[in-house]
Amino acid sequence: MSNRNTISERGTGQVPGWSRKKALLTLLLLVPAVLVFTAADRSAEAIPCRALEIEVDQIDGMYFVDAPTLHAFVTERFNLIDQPIATLPLGALHDAIMAQHGVAECKIEPTLGGALRITVGQQRPIARIWSGDTVQYMDDQGRSLPLSPRYTADVPIVHAPDFASAAAARPLIDHMDKTPFWNDFIDQIELDTDGAISFRPRIADVRVELGIPDTSASRLDDQLERLFTFYKELIQRGDLRQYRTISLQYDGQLVAAK
């Protein structure tokens, strides 16, 4: 027992000394590495911005935003070329680009070669909102987007008292955006002052009344399914123009009036 205790004590007396020596040796070896990394970081910070690369994501042929226009805007407003990348006002640059017409997202990243790469995503319109004398797009995030003299989006028209009230038609607009059949079928959407929704198909002069919308997607699906079945029967009979209004306001019912 005493030998074990002695060995244990001797071991206990030597390990801390060796640990201290090992720690000191490790620290001495790390100092040059730290100096190298610090020098590399400072060298990277001193790299000047040698080029400006701007890429705009073109979705479905849209060009609310284009790279040459953004390049001209950025170079006119910001002094970037030949400036140290570490000193560039990237936050202000990001905010300025995001404020441009049609920009939905912006990513800015310096490259190892000294270029500043800017990647821009565009707002994607899903409806054109008419409210009084004001016309603007609604994008897929529910945000407003002014019309562009360079591009006209093929999206449904929504007549509403104002842009905010047009949000009530989002379930129907989103359904059209995801379903080609209903996107081709529905021409214009109308919102009354009380919030009731109706729409007009591209064929026949008829008003389809959906009523006050609710948050249930299944109700809209049921309404459109009833309308689809009704139109199949009309097509089979060969007469699509005999009704003026079709009401789907009541659950499980379709009321057509001539």
Instruction: Please give the model's pTM, rounded to 2 decimal places.
Output: 0.72
Residues 6+ apart with CB under 8 A from 211: 196, 197, 247, 248, 249
Closest CA to 170 of 222, 214, 203: 214
| DSSP codes, 183-208 | HHHEEEEEE-TT--EEEEESSSS-EE
What pLDDT digit, counting tens, does each position of 2-24 carry?
A: 332 222 223 334 444 545 555 55
Residue type, 89: P
Q: Can you tell me whether residue 63 is helix, strand or coil?
A: coil
Length in residues, the chain: 258
Interval 33-78: pLDDT, tens: 443 434 444 555 678 999 999 999 987 777 889 999 999 999 999 9
State how far the Cα of 144 lies from the Cα of 101, in Å rounded to an integer: 10
Q: What are phi and psi of 66, to 5 degrees?
A: -135, 155
Long-range Cβ pairs for the range 77-82 (8 Å, 24+): 80/49, 80/52, 80/116, 81/48, 81/49, 81/50, 81/51, 81/52, 82/48, 82/49, 82/50
Q: Residue 215's pLDDT is what?
A: 65
Residue 106 has a pLDDT of: 97
Contact 125, 154 (CB under 8 A): no
